[in-house]
Amino acid sequence: MMNVERSDHLRSDCGMPQIGKAPPLLTDEAVSAVVADATVRAQFDAEFYLESYPDVREARIDPFTHFMETGWKEGRRPSREFDTEFYLVSYPDVALAGINPLTHYAVTGCAEGRLSRRPVSDDAAESGHAASSFGEAEARKAFDAEFYLESYPDVREARIDPFLHYMQDGWKEGRNPSKSFRTERYLKLHDDVRMAGINPFLHYVQCGATEGQSLLYAPNADRDLLEHAIPPSVRAQSWRLADTISANLTQQELSKTLLEASRKGGVGFVVSISHDDYFASIGGTQNIIGDEMRKLVDATFHYLHIYPAHPLPTLAPSGAGDLIVGIRLNEKKLGFVRFSDLVAALRPVRQSWPVFNVIVHHLLGHRPEDVAELVAALLPDRVFAFVHDFFSFCISYTLLRNDVTYCNSPDVESGSCLVCCYGEERKEHLRRISAFLAEVRPTLVIYSQSTRDIWEARSPFVSLDILPARLAKVELDEAVEPSHGVITGEVPLRIGFVGTPAHLKGWNTFASLAKDFRNDGRYQFVQLSARSMGQPGITHVPVSVLPGDRMAMVRTLREQRIDVAVIWSLWPETFCFTAYEAMAAGAYIVTRTQAGNVWPGIRAEGERQGTALDTSEELHELLANGDLIALACAPGRKRGKLIIEAPLAEYILQNQAAVQNLAEA
């Protein structure tokens, strides 16, 4: 538990953040040196963490390790006295550097007088009521409490002071303090305010109003996306601000670790490559990597995973100099190493393994030329490349033109590419990907027929072998009883949005639907995801599908009694776990006809499991005329088990067994 003396110190008031001021950051060496240090642990309250986050408690994960690896990225708090989100927003230099905020505070932030949490009304005596000094009186006059409570029923039901809620949390969630002030719009127009982590409404009442800046804004999701559609190279510049990580693992140290692993034995070795640390990040691709890793490690393979230390929204630039990559061996994080040192360390142990494979999950942030050199140096038995999305075709890996509409991967010289922010840089991207595929010639792992159809129709590359795979299946063996209360109108139909609330997943369509029918007593709208979008008329239920709890979404969908799941992906999904999770939970699914494998996967389980529509207008009409209630309450729908599979791992194991049997014969 954190002691009282340290808690008092944490509440030291440093005043309003100064625009443009950037105190020195920690070096990577300093970060690495203090992660396990008692100084950081002293700031962590394990009892508070386990009480606040029952998913961690139920998974029996070490709470400190969970926070340091994953929790801080999810905005979780390590103690009552430290607010992770507040610290990252208040000090953008820390956020941009990608440093764990608790580590930064423990080592340098406290000494620099940085706040560990926002000053709140309970601390008025100690902080001098900091909100007042920042212009609370003026902000209260401009704040529309009635609008706020009407827009955000969760605040009304919690009986929280609406003004304090907005000032402390609401603005960070994108909520609006009045009909005419748009929080996110103001931050987009004022980079200095956003970067300094200043409350935009406070800034407006103190500065913006006198400068004649308009509050009025009619939001439009597609327009906002187009406004921020910038070339990938420009976008990457802000990502590179986080380039603070250096190699902390030498070739000799890594060689020693790999030799020790080879002495322990095992039937094979896998080198896996992806765009991020699958163990510390949340997402479908990350879960797939974890599923594959665990199956292979259980079969006595060793699994070395490589990811860029400095993530990028593009391929890494070609040229001289080593890239730094992070590595995990059998889930254990080893550190960061230069790519050339990694290859040199792997070369001596290559012949120690009867089976040696390379798996490319994603090339984001990597140089394909480096990966090709690794393959040439190690001569693996097989190289596999997953088609998780369409990054091979374009930097816009979902093939959304200007991040708004699906483009169907046109010719790179077409007019469609010329008007897209990705178009010009796509030419060089395709050249590098094409050279990589021609040299390495991996076997493509494709897990839906719809994806295979697109690849074979639109691929500009050499012909490659394709391995069909299946990531999950459902066994539907339990009938879903129609809700009598919903049919009679006594109980509203609960409509859920499942998974990441992103435009490409159809979030804006769902949000528009909730807005149009927010006062219709026939329906309730629920968002089931890790983070809340703060959308009026939508109840947020937090849920994260983690490696240790792959059934979290299925369980939550059942607990929340979700009748209908809207899965409205705007791009052709290569595989959609949320569709299978919703089916296993017994929800009726409404999707787009052109959402990739979503509709074929649902249709394969029976016509009563869901329906597909062509346009959002048809979706709107389905609710307006009440037909959705009839469809969702019709008999014949089933629910059951979701079974996660690791198809490539199974394929590798089958081939390894065949090779072994042949050798024994």
Exposed, middle or buried by CB within 10 Å (0-12, 13-18, 19+), for 204?
A: buried
Mean pLDDT, rounded, for 57-65 = 89
| Cα dihedral sign, 311-316-319-322 | positive
Evaluate if residue 477 carries a pLDDT over 60.
yes
Q: How far apart are CA 241 and CA 372, in angstroms?
A: 28
| Residue where a domain terminates, one of 471, 492, 507 | 471
In a domain, 330, yes or no: yes
In a shared domain, residues 372 and 420: yes
In a domain, 135, yes or no: yes
In a domain, 276, yes or no: yes
Evaluate if residue 212 carries a pLDDT over 60.
no
Evaluate if residue 242 carries a pLDDT over 60.
no
Look at residue 12 in the predicted model and tell me its pLDDT.
32
In a shared domain, residues 542 and 439: no
In a domain, 660, yes or no: no
Evaluate if residue 229 carries a pLDDT over 80.
no
> Where is pLDDT greater, at 463 or 487?
463
In a shared domain, residues 457 and 481: no
Instruction: Please state the three-class secondary structure of 496-512 as a single string.
Output: EEECCCCHHHCHHHHHH
- Give yes or no for a contact between 356 and 261, defined as CB atoms under 8 angstroms apart: no
In a shared domain, residues 86 and 109: yes
Return all residues near 381 (Cβ < 8 A) that are at least 6 apart. 355, 356, 357
State how many domains the chain has: 3
| Residue where a domain terminates, one of 471, 506, 527 | 471
Look at residue 104 in the predicted model and tell me its pLDDT.
85
In a shared domain, residues 461 and 554: no
In a domain, 230, yes or no: no
Mean pLDDT, rounded, for 236-252 = 74
Mean pLDDT, rounded, for 309-320 = 88
Q: How far apart are CA 37 and CA 24, in angstroms?
A: 21
**Three-state SS at 76:** coil
For residue 113, what pLDDT band results from cuts at 50, 70 and 90?
low
Domain interval for residue 312: 245-471
Q: If you search the block for the tokens 């402390």, which residue do you land on?
A: 168
> Where is pLDDT greater, at 634 or 281?
634
In a shared domain, residues 256 and 184: no
In a domain, 318, yes or no: yes
In a domain, 662, yes or no: no
> Where is pLDDT greater, at 4 or 144?
144
Exposed, middle or buried by CB within 10 Å (0-12, 13-18, 19+), for 464?
A: middle
Instruction: Please state the three-class secondary structure of 314-370 as a single string.
Output: CCCCCCCCCCEEEEEECCEEEEEEEHHHHHHHHHHHHHHCCEEEEEECCCCCCCHHH
In a shared domain, residues 274 and 401: yes
In a shared domain, residues 164 and 74: yes
Look at residue 462 in the predicted model and tell me its pLDDT.
93
- Give yes or no for a contact between 440 and 357, defined as CB atoms under 8 angstroms apart: no
Q: For position 348, which CATH number holds?
A: 3.40.50
**pLDDT tens digits for range 439-461:** 999 999 999 999 999 999 999 99
Q: How far apart are CA 336 and CA 68, in angstroms?
A: 17
Mean pLDDT, rounded, for 610-623 = 95
In a shared domain, residues 506 and 405: no
Mean pLDDT score across all residues of the chain? 83
**pLDDT tens digits for range 506-541:** 999 999 999 999 999 999 999 999 888 888 889 999
Look at residue 32 in the predicted model and tell me its pLDDT.
45
**Three-state SS at 82:** strand
Q: For position 530, which CATH number holds?
A: 3.40.50.2000
In a shared domain, residues 261 and 153: no
**pLDDT tens digits for range 491-500:** 999 999 999 8
In a shared domain, residues 412 and 438: yes
- The reply to whether the predicted model has a pTM over 0.85 is no
In a domain, 654, yes or no: no
In a shared domain, residues 376 and 403: yes
